Amino acid sequence: MGKDKKKGGVSRRKILKSAAVGGVGAAVIGAGLAATKTPKADAASISGELAKVMKERGLSPDDVLSAAKTYVPEGVHDPYVCLSSGGQSGHLFLYGVPSMRLIKTIAVFAPETWQGWGYDKESQEIMKGGSVEGRVVHTGDTHHPGFSETNGDYDGEYAFINDKSQGRVAVIDTRDWQTKQIVKNPVLKSTHGGTSVTENTEYVFTACQYAAPYDNKYHDPMNQKVYDTIYRGGHTYWKFDRKKGRIDMENSFTIELPPYMQDINDCGKRMSHEWGFSNSFNTERYVGGIERGNPPFEAGCSANDTDFIHMTNWKKAEEVVKKGNYKLINGHKVIPMKVAIENGLVYLIPVMKSPHGITVSPDGRYILASGKLDTHVSVYDFKKIMHLIENKIYDGRDPYGIPILSMRKTLHGMVQTGLGPLHNQFDVADSHIAYNSLFVDSAVVKYDYIKLKVLDRIPIHYNVGHLAAVHGDTVNPRGNYLISLNKLAIDRFVEIGPLHPQNHELIDISNPLSKNMRMLYAMPFPLGEPHYAQIIDSKIVEKRAWKVYPLGTDPATMARSPYRTLPGREKVVRKGNHVEVWMTAIRSHFNPEHIYCKVGDKVTIHITNLERAEDETHDFGVYYFNVTTSLEPGKTATVEFVADKEGIYPYYCQEFCSALHLEMFGYIAVLPKDAKFPEGAFFNNEE
Ligand code: CUK
Ligand code: CUA
């Protein structure tokens, strides 16, 4: 059966109103359902039916209210989309809010066969761009997605994502939500913090995690002196070229930092615009040695009562780099610590024991840090910080000479939220309301970060990491929904063995003045462990999304592919032992349908999907050669392999594109070296 996309659905294509439904009783919901689901039925009869369903399914009025607040009718778009990291899957995921319907896997650091990611030449080249010391590494650990921003709010044009495991950053273009670039940090092995962006996406900021030598050589990790002098962390500022939509490696730089494990980071806003902040742990510089009877890292790295917030000034750093005051290490500009100190680029502020999250308030004045082993969120006041910096009032220096600012003199105050506070998000600007995740307590706390008062608390299931609110880390948070990205999901979903999904719980925060956060929905997330996520207004991204590609587009460049093939221009050419094919695909055939080559030939197939109709995707599945691609309407993609074995290799379209989809196939015929090609094996329609 074919899929006729033209029929139905269109009339309901609207975006739900952004505001969450607030304060409706079950009876009103009955009427609402009547209005959207079955327009001809009257409200009274639906209410009767609703009561019956509630009874049969054991639903309370509360459950029904939650359902009404999350239900998005068939054919209606969600008002928001959530861009979630996908942890060890190496991907990103996009789902609608409040329906929690999964919309897309965005393949980034790891191969993904549906989209041909890592299996066609164009994506293989992008992956190669992120090579790790010369090796193409196909694993990734995505943590903190960040939308590009204009004036401190998401503009939704690009998204960035870090790979903690390999110290990489990727750029995604939201015209087609595809990865366009992967870059490897030339000096840092793992970058955990970030990606967070500066107010106008001048830079994408990532902080180091595990300190290591910059030089990729051996230096004994258990020798304290070696560790102290050669191991290094850093803050990397990746220059983003908005016009090209790519990171500009040439104008990116790293500020050298001590071998403390810099952790989560955030960019300043407004008054703190020029600064980047990160937390850190292991300011002890503990080198471990569990093998020799020493305490493990977990103990040695959390011995001190305080660690450091690191703050670096990218604006001044930019000038220092312009003056040539940097070292080139592995071809990358590094501002040595000494230069950074002399130029006032770096300061440390003590923060409670083994901190984790750090988030800058919408107005840029307050920096919220929470300590995993502390029960508080520490709220630092940027004005107090700047007062100390401007007057050079230091509490001493760390062993590397970096000025330390007094914790007492920079704190606005602390608010006790509970056990294991990790991350923060903000409610509508000027409300001064933030939400704090409590990993150990398995709860989310709503609090006023100016009055330092806890307002509300809700249990979650279980062990929450990050939180995401609508535009919740921008200058203009929108409130309404909060997602709790939980690590454990014990007992929440159908039992399926030892590997559990994570659990994303949707919480209603539509009334910032009310005390009642309200649990709405739980979504199992079975695709790697998400860390951070950002929720963006759907209207912003829908405006930008392309419906189809202009005919012959290479998504890697978003420009016309040199291999674009128009109907009638298909050809198969053999030069030496290279067979090159210019192929087209349209319902429901490939042209050519037969490709001849000989054992040992390199085979390159450029395929253009000639379709102009939306969602008429074809693709190219082929036996044995371990290549594939997705062919969205208008796209040109290339697969390449060596025909190393004699035989017949069927290929076909794997998308059910029409009634005659099964007939959309062909053969690659690999002849023995000494065999003769049949008549018409090669053709060339060139003018
Ligand atoms: S980290 Cu995972 S819960 Cu990478 Cu932002 Cu805190
Ligand atoms: Cu094209 Cu199936």
467 lines ligand 1 (CB under 6 A): no
Name the residue at shortest CA distance from atom 2 of ligand 1.
531
**Ligand closest to CA 659:** 2
Among 70, 96, 120, the domain-final residue is: 70
pLDDT attached to residue 687: 43
Mean pLDDT of the chain: 93
* Domain co-membership, 158 together with 55: no
Q: What is the mean pLDDT of residues 350-362?
A: 93
| Mean pLDDT within 407-421 | 97
Judge if 47 and 131 occupy the same domain: no
pLDDT of residue 305 exceeding 70: yes
Same domain? For 572 and 505 the reply is no
CATH number of the domain to which 622 belongs? 2.60.40.420
Question: Which residue(s) pair with 154 in the sheet?
Answer: 149
Distance (Å, whole) CA 20 – CA 99? 12
What's the confidence (pLDDT) of residue 400?
98
**Short-list 230, 210, 216, 162, CA closest to 187:** 216
The encoded tokens of residue 592 equal 């050519």
pLDDT confidence tier of residue 46, bands split at 50, 70 and 90: confident
Is 155 found in the same domain as 12? no
**Per-residue confidence at 220, pLDDT binned at 50, 70, 90?**
very high
Whether 522 maps to a domain, the answer reads: yes
Q: What is the pLDDT of residues 631-682, one digit of tens each?
A: 999 999 999 999 999 999 999 999 999 999 999 999 999 999 999 999 989 8
590-605 pLDDT, tens digit per residue, is 999 999 999 999 999 9
- Region 222-250: mean pLDDT is 98
To the nearest whole percent, how much of the chain has pLDDT over 70? 93
Q: Which domain holds residue 310?
A: 80-542
pLDDT digits (tens, 9 = 90+) for 88-116: 999 999 999 999 999 999 999 999 999 99
Tell me the residue type at 680.
G
Question: Are 639 and 508 found together in one domain?
Answer: no
pLDDT reading at 12 higher than 60: no
Residue 41, pLDDT score: 60
Q: Please tell me whether residues 151 and 225 are part of one structural domain.
A: yes
pLDDT higher than threshold 70 for residue 279: yes
The sign of the torsion formed by the CA atoms of 114, 117, 121, 123 equals: positive
Residue 439 CA, closest ligand 1 atom number: 3
Phi, psi of 541 (to 5 degrees): -85, -30
pLDDT for the residue 22: 38
Q: Can you tell me which atom of ligand 2 is nearest the CA of 617? A: 1
Q: Kindly report the CATH number assigned to the domain that includes residue 352.
A: 2.130.10.10
The first and second tokens of residue 308, run together, are 């450091």
Above 70 in pLDDT, residue 35?
no
CA of 598 to the centre of ligand 2 (A): 27
In a domain, 423, yes or no: yes
DSSP 494-530: ---SS---EEEEEEEE--TTSS--EEEEEEEE-SS--
* pLDDT exceeds 70 at position 290: yes
Note the ligand closest to the C-alpha atom of 359: 1
- Cβ of 531 less than 6 Å from ligand 1: yes
Residue at which a domain ends, from 504, 521, 542: 542
**Residue 680 domain-assigned (yes or no):** no
CB atoms under 10 Å from CB of 323, counted, come to 10
Residue appearing with tokens 């203009």: 476
β-bridge pairing 203-207 and 275-281: unpaired
Q: Which of 92, 195, 205, 264 has the most ligand 1 atoms within 8 A of CB, as the residue to mutate?
A: 264
Residues 195/163, Cβ–Cβ less than 8 Å: no
Averaged pLDDT, 282-302? 93
Comparing CA positions, the residue from 434, 429, 296, 254 lying closest to residue 358 is 434
pLDDT grade for 42, boundaries at 50, 70 and 90 = confident
Distance (Å) from CA 464 to ligand 1 centroid: 10
pLDDT at 18 over 90: no
* pLDDT computed for residue 44 by the predictor: 72
Token pair, residue 601, equals 């030939």
477 lines ligand 1 (CB under 6 A): no
Examine the pLDDT at 1 and tell me if it is beyond 50: no
Q: How far is CA 618 from CA 632, 648, 653, in A?
A: 6, 22, 6
Tell me what pLDDT residue 45 has: 77
145: nearest Cα among 174, 111, 112, 170: 170
Ligand nearest to the backbone CA of 660: 2
Ligand 1: residue of 191, 372, 466, 488 to mutate (most ligand atoms within 8 A of CB) is 466
pLDDT value, residue 371: 81
Confirm whether 366 is domain-assigned: yes
- Residue 686: pLDDT band (50, 70, 90) is low
**Counting runs of H as helices and runs of E as strands, what totals does the chain give?**
11, 44
pLDDT at residue 513 tops 80: no
For a mutational test of ligand 1's pocket, the pick from 84, 143, 162, 210, i.e. the residue with the most ligand atoms closer than 8 A to its C-beta, is 143
pLDDT in tens, 487-498: 999 999 999 999
Closest ligand to C-alpha of residue 584 is: 2
Q: Which ligand 1 atom is nearest residue 422's CA?
A: 6
Q: How far is the CA of 566 from the centre of ligand 2 (A)?
A: 18
- Residues 6 or more apart whose CB falls under 8 angstroms from that of 346 comprise 255, 257, 310, 311, 312, 313, 337, 340, 402
pLDDT of 25 reads: 35
**Domain co-membership, 98 together with 168:** yes
Q: Which residue(s) pair with 621 in the sheet?
A: 628, 652
Ligand 1 touching residue 143 (CB < 6 A): yes
Q: Say which DSSP state 551 is in.
A: T
User: How remote is the CA of residue 665 from the centroid of ligand 2, in Å?
Assistant: 9
pLDDT for 515: 74
In a domain, 1, yes or no: no
Nearest-CA residue for atom 6 of ligand 1: 465
Nearest ligand to the C-alpha atom of residue 658: 2
Q: Is the CB of 372 under 6 A from ligand 1?
A: no
Tell me the pairing of strands 102-106 and 212-213: unpaired
Half-sphere exposure in the Cβ direction for 273 (13 Å, CA): 13
CA of 577 to the centre of ligand 2 (A): 30
383 and 496 co-located in one domain: yes
Same domain, 525 and 559: no
Average pLDDT over residues 427-454: 96
Would residue 88 count as lying in a domain? yes
681 falls within a domain:
no
pLDDT of residue 13: 52
What pLDDT was estimated at residue 152? Answer: 98
- Residue to probe by mutation, ligand 1, list 266, 370, 532, most atoms within 8 Å of CB: 532
Q: 142 CA distance to ligand 1 centroid (A)?
A: 10
Averaged pLDDT, 381-399: 98
Read off the pLDDT band of 366 (50, 70, 90).
very high
Read off the pLDDT of each residue in 263-281 and give the average, rounded to a whole number.
96
What is the CA(93)–ligand 2 centre distance, in A? 25
Indicate if 533 and 623 belong to the same structural domain: no
- Nearest ligand 2 atom to alpha carbon 652: 2
The confidence score (pLDDT) of residue 40 equals: 56
Task: Say what percent of the chain tops pLDDT 90.
Answer: 89
Task: Compute the distance between CA of residue 624 and CA of residue 124 in angstroms, rounded to an integer.
Answer: 18
Among 542, 519, 369, residue whose Cα is nearest residue 459: 519
Report the alpha-carbon distance of residue 163 to residue 179 in Å, rounded.
13
Distance, C-alpha 679 to centroid of its chain: 52
Q: What's the confidence (pLDDT) of residue 372?
A: 83
Q: Is the pLDDT of residue 512 over 80?
A: no
Q: Are residues 39 and 184 in the same domain?
A: no
Q: How many domains does the chain have?
A: 3
| Ligand 2 midpoint to CA 553 (Å) | 19
Among protein residues, the one with the nearest Cα to ligand 1's atom 4 is 143
Q: Ligand 2: list residues with CB < 6 Å.
A: 588, 618, 653, 655-657, 661, 664
pLDDT value, residue 119? 98
Pairing mode of beta strands 178-184, 196-197: unpaired
Mean pLDDT of 3-11: 41
pTM: 0.93
How far lies 297's CA from each of 33, 57, 228, 373, 613, in Å?
Answer: 56, 50, 16, 15, 57
Q: For residues 128 and 136, is the Cβ–Cβ distance under 8 A?
A: yes
According to the model, what pLDDT value does residue 2 have? 39
Nearest partner of 550 among 561, 541, 562, judged by Cα: 561
Query: Is pLDDT at 5 greater than 50 in this prediction?
Result: no
| Structural element, H or E, at residue 235 | strand 231-241
Picking from 70, 95, 115, the residue at the C-terminal end of a domain is: 70
* Domain match, 666 and 526 both: no
Say how far apart CA 92 and CA 195 lie, in whole Å.
13
**Omega of the bond leading into 481 within 30 degrees of 0 (cis):** no
**In a 3-state reduction of DSSP, which class is residue 125?**
helix
Distance in Å, CA 620 to ligand 2 centroid: 9
| 194 within some domain | yes
- Which residue's entry shows tokens 């539509």? 510
Contact 466 CB / ligand 1 (< 6 Å): yes
Could you say which ligand is closest to the alpha carbon of residue 615? 2
